[in-house]
Amino acid sequence: MLTVEELEAALPAMTRWRVPGGRNVDWAALEATLGTALPSDFRSLAEAYPILVVGDFLSVFVPRPGAEVSWASDARDDEILQDWYEMEDMEDYVPFPQPGGLISWATSNCGDVFYWKTSPADPDAWPVVVRKDNGDWNEFPVGVVEFLAGVYGHTIDVPGMPGSFSGDSPQVLGLSDRID
């Protein structure tokens, strides 16, 4: 499993948004509401960074301190995913909290959604699943940080994504942790 520092090497524009000393996410409250632990690489990313928007394309949604229960509730009650499931538009995937169900962690501005497949039991072994806006699904046997480092380091290709998806030097915007 790659570290946040290895992701920063592949995507150096993100480092200006690193929060010194961490963000103090209440993981116990979040995971109690969600009903599962989350991968340690994602927890490290969420402790180091606010919500990130990469290349004006990909939004990586990390929980905000003080809004952990809301983040977990949204992840459990993903209405769009449930609609796809009811329309039988998910290949062999199912929504969380079903065993092996999907939990979203990012979206693109084109309608692509990035998930974990919550199987096997160890969250650190959960693969990344991408549903492109055209309904195609791809699974990658890596965690979030390794996936992002691979995409922006040009070692992972997501078929069907626009050529500008990984870019050469994408800009990164960090969104505030303020809750209004």
- Specify whether the CB–CB gap between 19 and 49 falls below 8 A: yes
What's the pLDDT score for residue 164?
64
Distance, in Å, from the CA atom of 87 to the CA atom of 93, rounded to the nearest integer, reads 12
What's the pLDDT score for residue 180?
44
Domains and CATH numbers, the chain: 4-156 (3.40.1580.10)
Q: What digits encode the pLDDT tens for the residues 14-44?
A: 999 999 999 999 999 999 999 999 999 999 9
Which residues in the chain show pLDDT less than 50? 179-180
What's the pLDDT score for residue 178?
54
Alpha-carbon distances of 17 from 10, 12, 50, 176, rounded to whole Å: 15, 10, 7, 10
| Chain position carrying tokens 């626009």 | 162
Q: Is the peptide bond before 12 cis (omega within 30 degrees of 0)?
A: no
